[in-house]
């Protein structure tokens, strides 16, 4: 099994988040990777604004792009922001074995929820991920609240 380069895959997720931000949307990116091969199975970014769909978060976009799989136990989800409850529930439901989080500063999300369900969670608190969401929250507070269900 190859050693996954968490920093490189997080950079890939960040670039997807930046793409979403530049499109006027919420800056959250996700990349789903096969732990055995290091292949990207699916990737995407939040599409709330672009598709008018409140459930297409970065993680959900990556899962959708990955398509059907017999199992996801041996995969890693890279997400630029700690997952909301919807995304954390999906990660737990489909038994994704590992999650790498780029930012728990802007939102702690559900790291402990995932860990309690046997998911290995690595928190990078990447400066680029943190700064992008911070800027977005300052510029578009109403959109931030809409994306997080009014939280």
Give all domains of the chain, ordered by start, each with its CATH number: 6-147 (3.40.140.10)
pLDDT tops 80 at residue 2: no
Q: What are the catalytic residues?
A: 59
Report the predicted TM-score, pTM, of the whole model to 2 decimal places: 0.96
Separation CA 128–CA 111 (nearest Å): 20
Check if the beta carbon of residue 79 is closer than 8 Å to that of residue 30: yes
Task: Give the pLDDT mean for 68-81.
Answer: 96
Separation CA 90–CA 134 (nearest Å)? 25
Task: Report pLDDT for 50.
Answer: 96
- Give the model's pLDDT for residue 45: 98
Quick count: other Cβ atoms within 10 Å of Cβ 70? 5
Q: How far is CA 81 from the centre of its chain?
A: 6
Q: How far apart are CA 131 and CA 127, in angstroms?
A: 6
Contact by Cβ (8 Å): 59, 30: yes
């Amino acid at each position: 099994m190859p050693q996954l380069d968490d920093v490189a895959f997080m950079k890939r997720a960040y670039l997807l988040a930046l793409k979403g931000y530049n499109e006027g949307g919420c800056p959250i990116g996700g990349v789903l990777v096969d732990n055995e091969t290091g292949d990207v199975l699916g990737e995407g970014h939040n599409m709330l604004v672009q598709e008018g769909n409140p459930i297409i978060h970065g993680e959900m976009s990556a899962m959708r792009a990955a398509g059907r799989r017999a199992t996801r136990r041996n995969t890693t989800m890279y997400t630029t922001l700690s997952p909301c409850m919807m995304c954390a529930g999906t990660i737990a439901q489909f038994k994704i074995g590992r999650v790498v989080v780029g930012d728990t500063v802007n939102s702690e999300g559900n790291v402990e929820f995932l860990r309690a369900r046997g998911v290995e969670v690595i928190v990078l608190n990447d400066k680029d991920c943190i700064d992008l969401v911070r800027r977005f929250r300052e510029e578009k507070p109403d959109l931030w609240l809409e994306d997080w269900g009014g939280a």
